[in-house]
Structure 1
C-alpha cells in the first residue's frame, strides 16, 4: 500500500513537472521578441511595401478578373515573388465568370431633365440597346423595399437612397451594403425593371462606387447601377417635389465564357517546422475603373514586404506562405478555391490573416485563437503598442479570402485598419496610388512583421 502511495506521488510530481515544462516551452522565446522589435523599427523605415504597391498599380494598373490585365497581374505576381527570393513560387488555377463593362449612362427625363453619374454594378445585365425609360419608385432602405407589397415596383426603376455612414471601424459598410449585394434580386421580385442605389461609399465626389451584385436563380435579372453621392442627393431633392420622376437608364455589359485566373503563392520555408504554415496575403485583382491601389495592391505590398523583411533577418521556424488571391472582387473565387485545394492541409495552417482594408493605419488587433494561446496575442499587442495598436474585442474572420479557411477551423488574427478614408475611394475611379500615405503603409508593415514573426517562431499552436 505504501509503495503504491509513493508511486502515485512520484507519478503526480512527474506529471506536474511535465505540465510545468510544457507551459514554459509554450512561452514566446525572448530572442523572438527582441527580433520582432528590431523588425518593427526596420519596417517603419522600409519602402518595400510602397515600392511593391507602386509596381503593381503602375506596371499592370486595373486588374478586372478574366481580362488581359488580370493575366498580366498573375505574371507580375510570379515574377515579383521570384525576384524577392521566395523559396517556392507557384500558381493554382481558379475558374471564374467573366463580366465586362461597356457603357453606362443615366438621366432624369422628368420633371427636371438632367444627366446623372452612375456606375454599373459588377455582374449587371444590360438594358435594351437604346436603354430603358421608366418611373422611379423610391425606398429609403433595402428593408423597406423587401417589406413592400408584391407588385409595388411593377415596370418601375427602384431607387434605394440609404446613405453609408462614415466610421473608423467601417461598420457603415455592413449597414448599407445589402442594397448592393441583394438589391437587384429584391427589386425584381417586386416587379422592377431596373435598380439604382446610392453608392456604398462615404465621399461627396461625383465618383460612383461599383461592386458586385447578386442575382437569384428563378428571379428575373434586371440592370443595376450605383449613383454617385452628389447625384443621389440631387435625385433626393427632385423626388422631394412629389412629382412623377422618370429616368432613362442605359447599361451595356458583356458576359464572356468562363475563364481561368490564378492564386499566386510564395513561400519562405521554415527552418524547424517547414510543414507548419503561417498564411498571409491579399487579393491580386481589382475593379476596372481605378488602379486598385488601396483595394488591394496595398495589401499585397504589406504582406509580401512583411515576409521578406522577416526572411532577411533570419529564416522563420515555420513556413510563411503569402497568397495573392485571384478574383476576390467578383465573388471571392480565389479564396473559396484555396480552401478547397488545401482542405487536406487545414491542420497545417497554424494561423492566417489577410490585408484587405486599404492602406490606413492599423488601429487594433482582433483574434480567433484558443484561450491557451491568448498570451501570444498579448505579446503581439505589447510590441504593437508603440504603433498605436490596441486590442479589439471582435473575432477575427480571416477577411474575405481566408474566411472559408477560418470557418473551417483555421485560427486567425485581424489587423484592423482605420477605415475613415477607405470608403471614400473604395471601388471608384479614385482608387489610385496617390491615395497611399507612405508612413501609414509602413506602420502596417511594422504591425504585420510582429504578428508573423511571433506566429512563425512561437513553438505552440493557436487552436
Structure 2
C-alpha cells in the first residue's frame, strides 16, 4: 500500500468533516455579516416601544408574550409557544420619603420588589445609619425597634460587574435582617454607580417568619444627602410605601427553536428575560438580550440546518425571583442540554469569553476563542456565570459559554427610569450579535461531543 492509499484509508475512518458553518471561513463570513445586523435593534425597539415596561405577572407582560410569539413565528422559528406558570404578584403602590423637623425635605425613593407596606398613613421613625451590610449584621437583636434602618455602601463601576454581588446583599437581605431586629422600615443606598436622581429598584427577600416591612432604595444623591444630615444630628423620617402582594398571577416563558439535524447531539439553550422592572422600558435589561440571542440564532438558521437544536428561552418573571428559569428547568430537566448561555447584562461590547466545557469539547473552546479574537474578545480565566435563567440547567451539569459584556456603565442604568432605548448603542449591539453568531455557529455545529461539564472549581 503506497502512502497516498494509506492516507486515504486513514481518512475514511477519521471523524466526519465539520458540519455546516463550522469551518473557519464559514464562521468568519457569518461573523462579519452579523456586524451589519439590524434584527437585534428591530426586536429591542419593537418590544420597548410597542409594549414598554413589562412587570412580571401583569397585563403588560402578557402582551409582551403575545408580541414575542408573533415576532418569533414571523421570523421562521419553529415550535414557538408559551409555557405558562403561576407566581406571586407584587404591586408597587405609592412611595414617598420626607425628612421631618428643621431640615424638612423630600427624598427620592423607589420601593424594592416584594416590599411590605407602611399603610396609606405611613410610618415615622428615627434613622439608624449602617455604613455597610456587615454593620447591620453586627447590630444587637432588638436594637432597631421602632427605627428606620438606613444601609449605605459605595459601589464602583467595573468592567466585569463584580461589585454587584457583594453590594447587592444590602438590597436582597438587608430589609429582612433589619425587620428581624425591630426596624419598622428599611432604606438602602441604590445599588448603582450613577449620580442621577434616579433610584434603582430591585427585588428583596424575606426570611421565614419575618413579616415584610416597607423597603425602598434612595437615589445616590439622596442617600448622600441623608448621610450629610445624619452628620449634623439625629434625623427623623416619614415613609409612605403602599406596596402589596396581590396573590397568585400568571406569567410564562416563550420558547422557540431551530431544530437540529441530530437530536442525539443535544440542545443549545440560549436565553434572555422578557420581563422588566416598571420604572423604565427594560431596554438594556433585557429587551436587548432577547434581540441579541434571537438575531444570532436567525443568522445561523439561515445558513442551513445546524447539527444541534438551538432553543430560545425568553424567560418570564426573572426580576422578582427567576421564576421563569425555575419553571423551565422543572419542565425540561430530563432533556439533554449540551450547552447553555444567556444575554442579560445590557448591550455594550463583549470583551471576554469564559467557558466550562468537558474535555471532549476542548477543541470547540479553542476554535471559539480563535474566532472571537477579531471582535476584540479575549479568553477570561474565571468561572463562567451563564445567567440566572439558565442557572439551574448549568448547575445540573450542562456546559456553559459566557460572553461577557462591559459593565462600566450598566449599573448607571440598571433598574432605573433611565433604562430606555436611547441607552442602547447600535454599533455595540451589532458586536454582540456577531459574537453570539460566532458562538452558535461553532457550538451548534461542532462534530465533537459536548456532554456534561466538569463541576465548577471551589473558591
TM-score by length of 2: 0.93
Is the partner of 1:78 in helix, strand or coil?
helix
Q: How far did residue 95 of structure 1 move?
A: 1.3
Q: Which residue of 1 aligns with 2:401?
A: 413
Q: Which residue of 2 aligns with 1:395?
A: 383
Q: d(CA) in 1 for partners of 2:37 and 2:119?
A: 52
Q: Which residue of 2 aligns with 1:43?
A: 34
Is the partner of 1:177 in helix, strand or coil?
helix
Say if 2:365 is the partner of 1:377: yes
Say if 2:300 is the partner of 1:310: yes
Q: Which residue of 2 aligns with 1:288?
A: 278
Q: Which residue of 2 aligns with 1:93?
A: 84
Q: Which residue of 2 aligns with 1:5?
A: none
> Is 2:315–2:325's contact at 8 Å kept on the other side of the alignment?
yes
Change in Cα spacing, 1:19 to 1:236, as seen in structure 2 (3 Å) is: farther
Q: Which residue of 2 aligns with 1:193?
A: 184
Q: d(CA) in 1 for partners of 2:79 and 2:116?
A: 41
Q: Which residue of 1 aligns with 2:267?
A: 277
Q: Which residue of 2 aligns with 1:333?
A: 323
Q: Which residue of 1 aligns with 2:457?
A: none
> Is 1:353–1:413's contact at 8 Å kept on the other side of the alignment?
yes
Q: Which residue of 2 aligns with 1:210?
A: 201
> Is 2:20–2:306's contact at 8 Å kept on the other side of the alignment?
no
Change in Cα spacing, 1:104 to 1:19, as seen in structure 2 (3 Å) is: farther
Q: Which residue of 2 aligns with 1:356?
A: 344
Change in Cα spacing, 1:283 to 1:360, as seen in structure 2 (3 Å) is: same
Q: Describe how 1:57-456 pairs up with structure 2 within 5 A.
A: 57-241=48-232, 243-273=233-263, 276-345=266-335, 348-456=336-444
> Is 2:116–2:213's contact at 8 Å kept on the other side of the alignment?
yes
133-142 or 85-94: bigger deviation: 85-94
Could you report, residue by residue, the CA deviation over 1:306-328 in whole angstroms, capped at 9, with x for unpaired residues?
A: 01111112221211111100100
> Is 2:21–2:442's contact at 8 Å kept on the other side of the alignment?
no
Is the partner of 1:102 in helix, strand or coil?
coil
Change in Cα spacing, 1:30 to 1:290, as seen in structure 2 (3 Å) is: closer
Q: d(CA) in 1 for partners of 2:419 and 2:22?
A: 40
404-413 or 266-275: bigger deviation: 266-275
> Is 2:21–2:27's contact at 8 Å kept on the other side of the alignment?
no
Higher helix share: 1
Change in Cα spacing, 1:266 to 1:245, as seen in structure 2 (3 Å) is: same
Instruction: Give ranges in structure 1 of 5+ residues lacking alignment.
Output: 1-16
Is the partner of 1:309 in helix, strand or coil?
helix
Q: How far did residue 230 of structure 1 move?
A: 0.4
Could you report, residue by residue, the CA deviation over 1:403-437 in whole angstroms, capped at 9, with x for unpaired residues?
A: 00000111111001100111101000110000000
Could you report, residue by residue, the CA deviation over 1:191-232 in whole angstroms, capped at 9, with x for unpaired residues?
A: 111000000000000000000000112112211000000001
> Is 1:110–1:244's contact at 8 Å kept on the other side of the alignment?
no
Change in Cα spacing, 1:21 to 1:112, as seen in structure 2 (3 Å) is: farther
Is the partner of 2:267 in helix, strand or coil?
strand
Q: d(CA) in 2 for partners of 1:452 and 1:247?
A: 53
> Is 2:284–2:347's contact at 8 Å kept on the other side of the alignment?
yes
Change in Cα spacing, 1:26 to 1:405, as seen in structure 2 (3 Å) is: farther
Instruction: Give ranges in structure 2 of 5+ residues lacking alignment.
Output: 1-8, 452-459
Q: d(CA) in 1 for partners of 2:188 and 2:298?
A: 42
Is the partner of 2:290 in helix, strand or coil?
helix
> Is 1:108–1:116's contact at 8 Å kept on the other side of the alignment?
yes
Q: d(CA) in 2 for partners of 1:286 and 1:208?
A: 15
Q: How far did residue 270 of structure 1 move?
A: 1.1
Q: How far did residue 389 of structure 1 move?
A: 0.4
Q: d(CA) in 1 for partners of 2:12 and 2:186?
A: 63
Q: Which residue of 2 aligns with 1:462?
A: 450
Q: d(CA) in 2 for partners of 1:108 and 1:59?
A: 39
Q: Which residue of 2 aligns with 1:7?
A: none
TM-score by length of 1: 0.92
Q: How far did residue 376 of structure 1 move?
A: 1.2
Q: d(CA) in 1 for partners of 2:396 and 2:84?
A: 21
> Is 2:22–2:442's contact at 8 Å kept on the other side of the alignment?
no
Is the partner of 1:344 in helix, strand or coil?
coil
